[in-house]
Structure formats: structure tokens, C-alpha cells
Amino acid sequence: DTGVSQNPRHKITKRGQNVTFRCDPISEHNRLYWYRQTLGQGPEFLTYFQNEAQLEKSRLLSDRFSAERPKGSFSTLEIQRTEQGDSAMYLCASSFSEGPNQPQHFGDGTRLSIL
């Protein structure tokens, strides 16, 4: 399977703990995106990388959130000191960078539940 892979699929943790998610994009894609999706809503953009460079971050991405893509391949999203409001599905997507009309290919997401 050469699609976008996300791990873990589910994460349950206590409030205040740190969590880290991993995304492995489609290998030929140099753009990688992180989104957050809450129940009944569409995905909301968090951040994106072109190769290893983080080019844009949303205002939704508070200081507790950090994302990396150290070698331009897989990416990690870390949430420190988790809060109840962080409970959501975290989606990763990848695409080619040639032209803004390239569709994004999504992984199946990591569902985060904060107790």
C-alpha cells in the first residue's frame, strides 16, 4: 500500500500528558499537511511542509503544538500538556508541489481522546 500512513490510529491519554503522532506520506510527494477535524466539521488546516521546511502555520496551532519533518520524509506532530479541547481527529495529507490545484491525499487519521 503506497498511501499516506498515520500512527497510531487511536490515542487515549489523560489531560496534561504529551502525545506524538506520526505521518508517512506518499513517497513521491514533497508537500505534507496536518489538519484537525472535530465531529461534524470539515478538516481545519494546522500546518504544512515543503520537503523539510515548515512553510506555514495556522493560528489554530498554539504553542503547545509542534510539528517536524526532519528529513523531508515522515512527519511528527506533538501536543504538549494536552487539554480536553484537543480531542479530535488529526489528519495528515500529502501532495505534489507543482501547482496549487494538486489534490491532497489523506491518511486515515489519528483519533485523540483526552480523559
| DSSP symbols for 41-98 | S--EEEEEEETTEEEEE-TT--TTEEEE-TTSS-EEEEE-S--GGG-EEEEEEEE-SS
Q: How far is the CB of 49 from other proteins (least distance, A)?
A: 10
**Closer residue to other proteins in complex, CB, 85/99:** 99
Q: How far is the CB of 1 from other proteins (least distance, A)?
A: 13
Half-sphere exposure of 107 (CA within 13 A, CB side): 28
Q: How far is the CB of 9 from other proteins (least distance, A)?
A: 8
Contact positions vs other proteins (CB under 8 A):
4, 6, 31, 33, 40-45, 48, 55-56, 58, 91, 93, 100-101, 103-109, 111
